[in-house]
Amino acid sequence: MTGRYNLSNPGIPIIFIGDRALVGETAIREQFEERILAEKERTASCNTTTTGLSSSWENCTTAVTLLTPQMVILPALVDSLNPCALSVLIFLLISIAAAANRRRILLIGGSYIAAVFLFHLLMGIGIFSVVTLSGYSKLFPLLGATIAIILGVITLADVIKNRETFVLSVPESGKGLLSKYIRIASLPAAFILGTLAGLLGFSCTGGIYISIIALMGKSLTISAGLPYLLLYNIIFVLPLALVTLLVAYGVSPEKADMWRTENKRALRLVIGLIMIALGFVIFLGWFG
């Protein structure tokens, strides 16, 4: 807040009201009521001044933010079908489906899904918090848009070149470690596996996610953006939960793997296009 209000050496106590900051007991006692009345009038008329604030605050405090639930739901649905996120779970279920009962399949699959959800949620909170605390939150949307477009172009190039191994995928060096925990297939191993899958596959699944976090950075604090992160990650793990349920109730995991293999190129095409589109949305919102 002090960075947003351009205060280099703020005192205590301090109160932020609209486009002003009241620093110290004297200023608060003398100006508090006056500033509240002025802020009520300002927000009612939508006629803002920018004393002490950047021009990005020239709109009313009730202005519509750039990010909407609809802009979270569609990208999250696309990202949730990412072959990188599904493949590790499917291989885990294949390894236990023949010998495990329904309860064990649900527990192990649930442990993996919980780890994926927590990793991505905490990663999102961490990225946004670090950027906000660093003081570069205004530049982060531009960085996020650039990353999204670059990753989108790389993804589309892989699809066009018809490559069998995609650049943005789990690295070969990490597949041996994942295989180790797939073979163990216990509840703790499944949780570790989900965490490792999130970490090693973040280059594959993180492009759209970073775009959403960048859109948050345009107008939201971390507390205001947390519901969007929760919504995104709940949708992100829905296909994982669906696959686990289907396998637990008798569907062969090999069929799920066949679907993933047959559609992975089309899914990556859509993912690449979504990343590029989100990047341009951020750029247009910044310069528009």
74/52 Cα distance (integer angstroms): 38
157/64 Cα distance (integer angstroms): 36
Q: Of the given ranges (51-60, 100-109, 120-129, 277-286), which has the lowest mean pLDDT?
A: 51-60
Q: What's the token pair of residue 177?
A: 């470690």
- Among candidate residues 280, 240, 85, the one with its CA nearest the CA of residue 178: 85
Mean pLDDT of 233-261: 82
- Give the angle 135-138-142 at the CA atoms, nearest 5°: 125
- Among candidate residues 118, 116, 120, the one with its CA nearest the CA of residue 213: 120
Domain ranges of the chain: 1-63, 69-287
Contacts of 279 (CB under 8 A, 6+ apart): 144, 145, 146, 147, 148, 149, 152, 211
Contacts of 232 (CB under 8 A, 6+ apart): 72, 75, 76, 124, 209, 212
pLDDT tens profile 92-125: 777 776 666 778 888 888 999 999 999 999 998 9
240/113 Cα distance (integer angstroms): 7
- Among candidate residues 276, 269, 241, 275, the one with its CA nearest the CA of residue 159: 269
Q: What is the pLDDT of residue 168?
A: 63
Check pLDDT > 50 for residue 221. yes
Higher confidence at residue 230 or residue 223?
230
For 128-153, b where at least 16 C-beta lie within 10 A, e where not — what string? beebbeeeebeebbbebbebbbebbe
pLDDT tens profile 176-208: 777 777 777 788 888 988 888 888 877 777 777
Contacts of 51 (CB under 8 A, 6+ apart): 19, 20
Q: Of the given ranges (79-93, 106-120, 220-234), which has the lowest mean pLDDT?
A: 79-93
Residue type, 145: A
DSSP structure string for 234-275: HHHHHHHHHHHHHHHTT--HHHHHHHHHHHHHHHHHHHHHHH
Higher confidence at residue 125 or residue 225?
125
Predicted TM-score (pTM) of this structure: 0.68
Residue 1 buriedness (CB in 10 A; 0-12 / 13-18 / 19+): exposed
Mean pLDDT of 245-258: 78
- Among candidate residues 220, 203, 229, 214, the one with its CA nearest the CA of residue 124: 229
Q: What's the token pair of residue 38?
A: 């002025």
